[in-house]
Amino acid sequence: MIERKESIAPRLDKEARRQRMALPPQPVLERSAAERLRDFAETAIPFSPEQAMAEASRCLLCPGAPCAAHCLLSNDIPGAMWLISQGDFLGAAALYRQTSPMPEICSRICPQQSLCEGACVLGKSGTPIALGRLERFVADYERAHDGHTVVDAPDTGFRVAVIGSGPAGIAAADWLRRAGHAVTIYEALPEPGGLLVYGIPTFKLDKRVVREKLDHLRARGVTLICNVHVGRDVPFEAVRQQHDAVFIGTGANVDATARIDGISLPGVLQATPFLIQANLPPALWPASLPPGPPPVGRQITVFGGGDTAMDCVRSALRLQQRAGYPLNVTCVYRRTEEEMPGNRHDRQLAREEGGQFLFLAAPTRFLPDQDGRLRAVECIRMRLGEPDDSGRRRPVPIEGSEFTLETDLAVLALGYWADPRLGEAIPGLQTHDNGLITVDPETGQTSVPGVFAGGDNVTGPDLVGRAAAAGIRAARAIDAYLQTRR
């Protein structure tokens, strides 16, 4: 979390709060499931200006602001609600931008139900304020009208390298530029944006929104160098020597795998290549991917229970438009729905779109056809045992309960690991748990002087808001470090 400042929202008296509590919530709508399945476009229907003002007018402007306390970037949410209710949309957008490097992105993909909206006091007895939709409304209003301006400090003459262009790298670059430092971002993939581009599907986050954010950074003088993997294409030491400090925001992007017979058969895919091939044009694919989309057949089975699994299910369902015939898409998860870690709302949307679920089952073998391609998956039924370290009940296989699922394409969404290679290439860099970088949690300082890190490569797979917060914290610490070198 980032420390919070006093809200600019006025205090409401009891009567004003009572009147606001009587106001009806505005409908928060998605495009119909049938319409959604026709394309990969965003599913949310935005608020109109009138709806935004009406919805924000319900906010009680609570002095303790539990919503802001649960915001990963400590946005002044009551302040923004007050400005929106007054029709000052650009003012509200500017207020978000004081604490957030990317309100247009976080508003689309933060799991608000378990963060700001989950903490809204109106949710205790009714409908919480639609805080995500309102943030999105003002950020998009600003994009459509003035665009946004950020006042950067005069150039300091210091140069900082940022390795990785995901949310952590973008946030660090944004905050370092605000402080007047020259920033160069190095990105291994053809397009910058990290998982905002190469993971999160376009129906949740339109890539144009990410591109605009990156163009804005470029316009402020940030240099972006793509297709350069630091540690492989350029030695880390060379980057270090050319800069006064380095921020490492390389994420945790190695698809987790499992020891299952037949896992290398054609027709068994990891989540990341599947999402890239489904959501992005071939020109943006990394060179490691085979050309052309995978043949989908008629039955796609996705294994996993997190957000990535749901993104795979929903992407697979959208492939029926390209296939020209209906596809069956099933998500197989080894626990029950209650233990599923992913976002409930996304699961509901997947169901509306036709996704099916099979709980308490896990794959034991991928079975080939006569041509050596995936034909079916052998699974085993599970029951729930004692809770494990995560507090969730452990799935236990039921002996002799194996069964076969015919499937043409299996997608494995089993989680992500960090890439240990960069850590190994940096002398003295302390890492743990197969490549996660050890840092001071307040500053992102690593064991190497002048080298900072943050985001998924420190925490393991997490959230965009938390990666962005880590980037901001590290940028502030880098700024303080550079001041000592004047």
Ligand X SMILES: Cc1cc2nc3c(=O)[nH]c(=O)nc-3n(C[C@H](O)[C@H](O)[C@H](O)COP(=O)(O)OP(=O)(O)OC[C@H]3O[C@@H](n4cnc5c(N)ncnc54)[C@H](O)[C@@H]3O)c2cc1C
Instruction: List residues binding ligand X (CB under 6 A).
Output: 109-110, 163-169, 186-189, 194-195, 199-200, 204, 229-231, 249-251, 253, 275, 307-308, 311, 419, 422, 455-456, 461-465, 467
Q: How far apart are CA 222 and CA 475, in angstroms?
A: 14
Q: How far apart are CA 390 and CA 245, in angstroms?
A: 37
Q: How far is the CB of 364 from ligand X (least distance, A)?
A: 25
Identity of the residue, 229 or 298, whose beta carbon is nearer to ligand X in the bound complex: 229
Q: How far apart are CA 70 and CA 64, in angstroms?
A: 11
Q: How far is the CB of 225 from ligand X (least distance, A)?
A: 9
Q: How far is the CB of 315 from ligand X (least distance, A)?
A: 9
Tell me the DSSP string of 278-304: HHS-GGGS-TTSPSSPPP--SEEEEE-
CB 236 within 8 A of CB 422: yes
Identity of the residue, 120 or 172, whose beta carbon is nearer to ligand X in the bound complex: 172
Identity of the residue, 25 or 286, whose beta carbon is nearer to ligand X in the bound complex: 286
Q: How far is the CB of 342 from ligand X (least distance, A)?
A: 9
Q: How far is the CB of 248 from ligand X (least distance, A)?
A: 8
Half-sphere exposure of 131 (CA within 13 A, CB side): 34
List CB contacts of 184: < 8 A, sequence separation 6 or more. Answer: 159, 160, 161, 162, 222, 223, 224, 225, 243
Identity of the residue, 225 or 405, whose beta carbon is nearer to ligand X in the bound complex: 225
Strands 403-406 and 374-387: antiparallel
Q: Phi then psi for 158, rounded to 5 degrees?
A: -85, 145
Q: How far is the CB of 238 from ligand X (least distance, A)?
A: 12
Q: How far apart are CA 12 and CA 10, in angstroms?
A: 6
Identity of the residue, 200 or 429, whose beta carbon is nearer to ligand X in the bound complex: 200
Q: How far apart are CA 427 and CA 443, in angstroms?
A: 20
Q: How far is the CB of 110 from ligand X (least distance, A)?
A: 5
For residue 64, give the amino acid letter.
G
Comparing C-alpha atoms, which of 20, 77, 78 is closest to residue 54? 20
Largest CA distance in the chain: 75
Tokens of 62: 């609570």
List CB contacts of 13: < 8 A, sequence separation 6 or more. Answer: none
Q: How far is the CB of 184 from ligand X (least distance, A)?
A: 11
Identity of the residue, 109 or 332, whose beta carbon is nearer to ligand X in the bound complex: 109
Identity of the residue, 316 or 380, whose beta carbon is nearer to ligand X in the bound complex: 316
Identity of the residue, 12 or 160, whose beta carbon is nearer to ligand X in the bound complex: 160
